[in-house]
């Protein structure tokens, strides 16, 4: 793709900033855009809708008003304030980065883009967002909303995930942000994608870039960005055991931090069709038929999990920890999607988890 030229970028920048000044949503981190607030909000809003993230942000900041406050607690104390947002690696990375800030930077978030970008879990997008919004650096951002806006504006007909297109998108974002109010400019493009240039039924007549948008001129803006054909997801059958200790607490297993459902808790189980496979985890199934069978789709796998009543104390497998958890404490744990579905279907009361998207 051909990136935006400086004159094009300058014209679009003026239109975007004018539009943003009049239409920006009133969000708590925008009212008080100190670096910690911006950082936390950006991490929470990755894979989570803004409207869903707001109450979590407010509770989180009330409990952890500074990086030092977050660094001072163990990660287990963080999970109750994150439970429901999902994607718990975000919480673990933010916690680890807060400890880096506390230990290496005297509790102050670095204003240097290179130094901030070296913190745990800070990628190119997070670096650009925090550095531009909180510190006024002319650092670009490219997220799903920015991709959609630029691909439609420039009629990008190639896979937006390909390396050449990625380079063009970042170059265009850099051209846009190379001017006044870089933080507002980045937020304007993301806001436009979230509220006007939406995946379906975009409201083009409200868009400040409508006169320059090639996709609008074709009359088919929804066709872009190009969506490459997905490979068929692998089908995976698993068995899991519903077992309790002598006090009635439910046995759960924690996954390793890396990999699918990293660091999350689930019912002890493993890939298999036969419930007797649970004996490898120290559990004995007490019925030949499952209590419940749940289905859960990931981007590359589709799980079918048969949950059997079982007795015993789980051990072994690829898990890093087993814990007997009272039902009242389940809300404070990072539970994986399949476990959530199974436990809810079995009548346990667990708060709803929030949806994805900005």
DSSP string, 54-117: HHHHHHHHHH--SHHHHHTS-HHHHHHHHTTT--THHHHHHHHHHHHHHHHSTTPPP-SHHHHH
- Closest listed residue to residue 50, CA positions, set 59, 41, 40: 41
Identify the active-site residue in 42, 76, 191, 327: 42
pLDDT exceeds cutoff 60 at 22: yes
pLDDT tens, residue by residue, 95-123: 999 999 999 999 999 999 999 999 999 99
| Residue 352, pLDDT score | 55
In angstroms, rounded to a whole number, what is the distance separating the alpha carbons of residues 138 and 237? 49
pLDDT exceeds cutoff 70 at 356: no
Q: What percent of the chain has pLDDT over 70?
A: 98
Per-residue burial over 103-124, b if 16 or more Cβ lie within 10 Å, else e, is eeeeeebbeebeebbebebbee
Helix (H) or strand (E) holding 43: helix 35-44
Q: How confident is the model at residue 21 (pLDDT cuts 50, 70, 90)?
A: very high
In angstroms, rounded to a whole number, what is the distance separating the alpha carbons of residues 91 and 53? 13
DSSP assignment, residue 346?
T
CB 294 within 8 A of CB 228: no
Question: Whole-angstrom distance between the N-terminal and C-terminal Cα of the chain?
Answer: 26
Query: Which tokens go with 81?
Result: 């304030």
pLDDT exceeds cutoff 60 at 294: yes
CB 8 within 8 A of CB 109: no
Query: Which tokens go with 331?
Result: 């809300």
| Residue 357, pLDDT score | 45
The more confidently predicted of residues 259 and 158 is: 158
Query: Which tokens go with 70?
Result: 């977050």
Has 191 been annotated as catalytic? no
In angstroms, rounded to a whole number, what is the distance separating the alpha carbons of residues 66 and 189? 28
DSSP assignment, residue 244?
B
| Residue 116, pLDDT score | 98
pLDDT tens, residue by residue, 179-232: 999 999 999 999 999 999 999 999 999 999 999 999 999 999 999 999 988 888
| Residue 350, pLDDT score | 81
Q: How confident is the model at residue 307 (pLDDT cuts 50, 70, 90)?
A: very high
3-state DSSP helix/strand/coil percent for the chain, to nearest 5?
A: 45, 15, 40
| Residue 97, pLDDT score | 98
Helix (H) or strand (E) holding 19: helix 6-23
State the average pLDDT for the chain: 95
- Closest listed residue to residue 154, CA positions, set 129, 139, 140, 171: 171
Q: Which domains does the chain have, with CATH numbers?
A: 6-223 (1.10.340.30), 234-345 (3.90.79.10)
Q: Are strands 234-242 and 250-254 parallel, antiparallel or unpaired?
A: unpaired
CA within 13 Å, CB half, 194: 21
């Amino acid at each position: 793709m051909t990136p935006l030229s400086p004159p094009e970028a300058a014209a679009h920048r003026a239109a975007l900033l004018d539009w943003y000044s009049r239409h920006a949503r009133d969000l708590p981190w925008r009212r008080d855009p100190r670096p910690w607030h911006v950082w936390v909000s950006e991490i929470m809003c990755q894979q989570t809708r803004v409207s869903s993230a707001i109450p979590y942000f407010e509770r989180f900041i009330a409990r952890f008003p500074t990086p030092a406050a977050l660094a001072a607690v163990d990660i287990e104390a963080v999970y109750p304030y994150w439970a429901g947002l999902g994607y718990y690696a975000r919480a673990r990375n933010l916690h680890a980065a807060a400890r880096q800030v506390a230990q290496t930077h005297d509790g102050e978030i670095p204003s240097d883009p290179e130094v901030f970008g070296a913190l745990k879990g800070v990628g190119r997008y997070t670096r650009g967002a925090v550095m531009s919004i909180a510190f006024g650096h002319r650092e670009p951002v490219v997220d799903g909303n920015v991709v959609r806006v630029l691909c439609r504006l420039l009629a990008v007909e190639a896979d937006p995930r390909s390396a050449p297109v990625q380079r063009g998108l970042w170059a265009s974002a850099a051209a846009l942000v190379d001017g006044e109010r870089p933080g507002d400019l980045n937020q304007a493009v993301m806001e436009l994608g979230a509220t006007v240039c939406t995946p379906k039924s975009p409201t083009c007549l409200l868009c400040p870039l409508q006169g320059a948008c090639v996709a609008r001129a074709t009359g088919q803006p929804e066709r872009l960005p190009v969506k490459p054909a997905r490979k068929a997801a692998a089908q995976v059958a698993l068995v899991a055991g519903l077992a309790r200790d002598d006090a009635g607490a439910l046995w759960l297993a924690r996954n390793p931090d890396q990999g699918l459902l990293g660091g999350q808790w689930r019912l002890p189980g493993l890939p298999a069709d036969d419930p007797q496979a649970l004996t490898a985890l120290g559990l004995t199934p007490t019925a030949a038929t499952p209590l419940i069978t749940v289905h859960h789709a990931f981007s590359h796998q589709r799980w079918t999990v048969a949950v059997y009543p079982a007795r015993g104390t789980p051990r072994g497998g690829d898990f890093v920890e087993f814990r007997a958890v009272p039902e009242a404490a389940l809300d404070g744990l990072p539970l994986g999607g399949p476990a959530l579905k199974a436990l809810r279907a079995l009548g346990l009361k667990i708060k709803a988890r929030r949806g994805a998207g900005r």
